[in-house]
Amino acid sequence: MKKMICTAKIKYTRHEVQLHVNALKMALSNPSLANYRGRYQILLDEMRRIENQMLEKENDALINRDKGEQSVEGDVIQNA
């Protein structure tokens, strides 16, 4: 039987991404969650990448005086 992969698009503000990064850092420092460390680390790395992309987009918008909405897409895919 073939495994299906389901995806969802979630809109975050940069502040929400920062909160998510901080929560993942706290989770990774908790020894009782050691079984999930790999998954949380992958998600943390992806959220940091998205945060950096958001900062770049904001800086570009300021430089170009772009008033339109900017979007950054990221994905976390693990071997199914």
* Tens-place pLDDT, residues 14-44: 899 999 999 999 999 999 988 889 989 999 9
Instruction: Return all residues near 3 (Cβ < 8 A) that are at least 6 apart.
Output: 80
Residue 43 to residue 61: CA distance in whole angstroms:
27
Q: Is this prediction's pTM over 0.85?
A: no
Between these two residues, 79 and 61, which has the higher pLDDT value? 61
pLDDT class for 7, splitting at 50, 70, 90? confident
Q: What are the boundaries of each domain within the chain?
A: 14-64
